[in-house]
């Protein structure tokens, strides 16, 4: 499987590390023998149609430098999408930063890949939140595979569970905690910490972004809800169709009052007809009353009833393992 990778940050590097340490096992167990023909970061790119050396890529990124500085194969400067037309390969993996305003650079990249009949994996919610119905249609039209397991739940296989394990049943509604940062903040506020202190702590622990407004205002949860709604329920919605409310107005007193009644407050993303993200007061013994930075999603289906998956919603290695899962699936479909 010949691959070009876009983005070599936390997730991209974790993927390369896993491909390196699991090389033998992935080949023996799944027939997965990836060859990295190209890697692109924000300042340059490196291409070798015979395959790049993973150690060399990791070494240069560990030094804080661009892959464009790699000996023999590197080139500094912006990657022009036209270059893709001159390389024969099977899979493009996008792990570039999420841009919720216009989805770029990933949106154009993915569209171009589809037009070149390339399979695509992305961990980036941006293009999906803004244009998922169109992207699914384009993938189908071009007869290529498009997978995005890492966009929801990090390494926790939420999308695969609902799509495959509940196949044969009919999923009627989805409810869940899809953002670890806000769940961490609400958990700490329940212990008496003020919002700003809990947020600062989440930032120090590396859960929250330096600009955490996407988490706190519910946009991150809404983006993941769009992905679940399209992929699992067959809805054709984008971010603008989700009613979104964040957790800025929640006070310690609200959590204390809820606690006295055996309840707690969680930022719940749900789709049951309407798609929305809002802080809800739920019973303490609810399946969704998970604490810390955990994610939890309940699928309510016609015959199996309610089933809940709980897991860590992010992390480099966790998300990279989702990418490997997608690679194995695409490898199987390629025959
Ligand atoms: N981290 C997680 O736990 C996690 C979990 C689930 C999903 N995700 C998603 O996965 C994606 C990657 O996350 P991350 O944490 O790895 O981000 P990150 O550490 O910020 O890495 C982003 C990478 O993209 C590169 N990049 C930026 N602009 C680019 C461009 N125009 N063309 C090509 N490469 C470009 C950066 O280059 P430089 O190296 O030159 O800066 C960097 O290598 C994001 O969309 C994120 O939302 C992350």
Q: What confidence tier does 164 reach under pLDDT thresholds 50, 70, 90?
A: confident
| Distance (Å, whole) CA 11 – CA 243 | 30
Q: What is the average pLDDT score of the chain?
A: 95
Instruction: Report the atom number in ligand 1 closest to the C-alpha of 96.
Output: 24
Question: Does the domain spanning 2-153+316-334 belong to CATH 3.40.50.720?
Answer: yes
Is residue 321 in contact with ligand 1, taking CB distance under 6 Å? no
Catalytic (active site) residue 170 = no
Nearest Cα residue to atom 11 of ligand 1: 95
Instruction: Report the atom number in ligand 1 closest to the C-alpha of 8.
Output: 43
**How confident is the model over 243-266, as pLDDT tens digits?**
999 999 999 999 999 999 999 999
Nearest Cα residue to atom 28 of ligand 1: 42
Residue extents of the structural domains in the chain: 2-153+316-334, 159-312
| Distance (Å, whole) CA 200 – CA 185 | 9
Q: What average pLDDT does range 51-75 have in this prediction?
A: 97
Is residue 11 in contact with ligand 1, taking CB distance under 6 Å? yes
From the candidates 224, 263, 266, 276, give the one annotated as an active-site residue.
224
Instruction: Report the atom number in ligand 1 closest to the C-alpha of 104.
Output: 31
> For residue 314, is pLDDT > 90?
no
Is residue 208 in contact with ligand 1, taking CB distance under 6 Å? no
CA of 42 to the centre of ligand 1 (A): 9
CA of 262 to the centre of ligand 1 (A): 40
Q: What confidence tier does 210 reach under pLDDT thresholds 50, 70, 90?
A: low
Q: What confidence tier does 75 reach under pLDDT thresholds 50, 70, 90?
A: very high
Give CATH superfamily name and number for 159-312. Answer: Dihydrodipicolinate Reductase; domain 2 (3.30.360.10)
Q: Output the pLDDT for position 43.
A: 97
Is residue 311 in contact with ligand 1, taking CB distance under 6 Å? no
- Phi, then psi, of 295 in degrees rounded to 5: -105, 155
3-state helix vs strand vs coil in the chain, percent to 5: 45, 20, 35
Q: Which of 97, 128, 315 to probe ligand 1 with, by most ligand atoms within 8 A of CB?
A: 97
Is residue 77 in contact with ligand 1, taking CB distance under 6 Å? no
Q: What average pLDDT does range 113-133 have in this prediction?
A: 97
Instruction: Report the atom number in ligand 1 closest to the C-alpha of 12.
Output: 16
Is residue 124 in contact with ligand 1, taking CB distance under 6 Å? yes
C-beta of residue 107 within 8 angstroms of C-beta of residue 131: yes
Q: What average pLDDT does range 300-305 have in this prediction?
A: 94
DSSP secondary structure letters along 118-141: -EEEE--HHHHHHHHHHHHHHHHH
Quote the crossing angle between the two packed helices 10-21 and 316-334, to the nearest 10°. 60
């Amino acid at each position: 499987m010949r691959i070009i990778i876009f983005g070599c940050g936390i997730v991209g590097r974790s993927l390369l590390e896993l491909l390196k340490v699991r090389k033998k096992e992935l080949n023996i167990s799944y027939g997965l023998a990836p060859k990295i023909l190209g890697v692109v970061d924000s300042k340059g790119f490196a291409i070798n149609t015979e395959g790049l050396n993973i150690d060399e890529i990791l070494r240069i990124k560990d030094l804080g430098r661009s892959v464009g500085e790699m000996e023999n194969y590197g080139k500094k400067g912006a990657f022009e999408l036209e270059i893709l037309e001159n390389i024969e390969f099977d899979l493009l993996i996008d792990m570039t930063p999420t841009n919720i305003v216009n989805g770029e650079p990933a949106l154009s990249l993915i569209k171009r890949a589809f037009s070149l009949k390339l399979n695509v994996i992305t961990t980036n919610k941006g293009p999906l939140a803004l244009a998922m119905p169109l992207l699914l249609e384009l993938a189908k039209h071009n007869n290529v595979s498009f997978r995005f397991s890492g966009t929801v739940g990090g390494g926790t296989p939420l999308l695969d569970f609902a799509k495959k394990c509940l196949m044969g049943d009919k999923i009627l509604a989805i409810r869940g905690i899809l953002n670890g940062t806000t769940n961490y903040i609400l958990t700490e506020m329940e212990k008496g910490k003020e919002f700003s202190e809990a947020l600062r702590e989440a930032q120090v622990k590396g859960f929250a972004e330096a600009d955490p407004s996407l988490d706190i205002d519910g946009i991150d949860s809404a983006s993941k809800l769009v992905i679940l709604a399209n992929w699992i329920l067959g809805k054709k919605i984008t971010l603008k169709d989700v009613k979104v409310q964040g957790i800025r107005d929640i006070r310690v007193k609200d959590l204390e009052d809820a606690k006295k009644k055996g309840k707690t407050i969680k930022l719940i993303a749900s789709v049951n007809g309407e798609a929305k993200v809002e802080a809800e007061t739920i019973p303490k013994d609810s399946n969704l009353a998970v604490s810390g930075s955990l994610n939890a999603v309940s699928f309510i289906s016609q015959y199996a009833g309610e089933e809940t998956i709980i897991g860590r919603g992010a992390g480099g290695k966790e998300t990279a393992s989702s990418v490997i899962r997608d690679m194995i699936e695409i490898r199987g479909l390629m025959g």
